[in-house]
Amino acid sequence: MSEIKRPAHLAEEKNPVDQFQHFWDRYGKQTGYALLVIILLVGGWLGYKFMVAEPNEKKAGEAMFRAEEYFRMDSARLALNGDNVNAGFVKIISKYSGTKAANLASFYAGSCYLKLGDFNNAVKYLKDFSTSVKQVQSRADGLLGDAYSELNKKDEAVTQYRKAGTLLEKDDLLSPEYLYRAGQLAPEPSRNPITKKLNQSVDNPFHAPMLNHMVEQHAHLDAVFHALADPTRRAMLGQLAERELTIGELATPFSMSFAGASKHVRVLENAGLVTREIRGRTHLCRLQAARLAEADAWLKRYERFWSEKLDALESLLLAEDAEKARTINKRMNKKVKE
């Protein structure tokens, strides 16, 4: 009986199992090693993430709570160095390096050092901070510009102010302030290429009016502080903070004529602190607090000069409290032993 011949195309087909067996015999050892390395890498990454990184992140976040409280209280030294129980930003940065909390602590630490007048450390920590949140990054760049400016490093300061002033495309609050500071520090364009870049940013149709606004804002401060220099006008603003009042009602506590009160109101109006609405014979006045906010923002630049003394006083009081607590504990322990 003759042998049945298989078609040629079927005869040439190879068994997949045989192919795999042949591959494994030849490369099995290398493949095994490669799989083992992949398993170890994935396992190590998962172990680090769930057993090290996440617990560290949680601990760092918890450690930040008290330091942030001190920061909000303007206690810069305590925020930086902590107290007898809680860690400060500097220790958090060192202990929890690589965490999001440590990165944020660098921003806080730079801000604190700037308030305390330690500009080199302010630069050090602010340079270590970075974030994808543009509003916060703009603020950090602006603070870094302040630190460089205090160190008389004008080129670096202009660069940072320019970054801070152009990071947000549409911002009429902080961006014009930073561009204004850059313009104040930058030398003539022909002498410095940084100034040329600054001028290019000022030519932006949005930034140019912002700078004009900034110049006007500084002019407004003169009028605001002039208006606030008089105790009668300050008292009037206090009354208007409660409710709208007529000029007659504003004049009553001071036994003042309508004309005299109207002069004070006119000064407040010129400063943008009060608006007046005329209804028939009645002049109704209401408070406009926006200009007060501008004055407050200007004053905050100089906070560090008085907060440093308050920090020193607070540290002294805490040290005294800690010493009293140790003395009391010693006495109690002595009585227990007796």
Backbone dihedral region of 299: left (phi > 0), alpha (psi from -120 to 50 degrees) or beta? alpha
Strand locations in 101-182 (E): none
CA distance 92 to 64: 7
Please tell me the predicted confidence (pLDDT) of residue 290: 81
Please tell me the predicted confidence (pLDDT) of residue 203: 46
* Helix, strand, coil percent values for the chain (each to nearest 5): 75, 5, 20
- Per CATH, the number for 224-293 is 1.10.10.10
Please tell me the predicted confidence (pLDDT) of residue 278: 82
Q: What is the 3-state secondary structure (H, E, C) of 43-101?
A: HHHHHHHHHHHHHHHHHHHHHHHHHHHHHHCCCHHHHHHCCCCCCCHHHHHHHCCCCHH
Q: Return the domain boundaries, the chain.
A: 32-130, 131-204, 224-293
Please tell me the predicted confidence (pLDDT) of residue 285: 92
Please tell me the predicted confidence (pLDDT) of residue 113: 93
Please tell me the predicted confidence (pLDDT) of residue 214: 47
Closest-CA residue to 202 (of 193, 187, 212):
212
Please tell me the predicted confidence (pLDDT) of residue 190: 45
Please tell me the predicted confidence (pLDDT) of residue 206: 44
Q: Which residue has the tokens 């608006």?
A: 275
Judge residue 15's burial from the number of C-beta atoms within 10 Å of its C-beta, 0-12 exposed, 13-18 middle, 19 or more buried: exposed
The residue ranges of the chain whose pLDDT is under 50 are 1, 10-11, 51, 189-197, 202-208, 210-215
Closest-CA residue to 112 (of 81, 134, 80, 138):
80
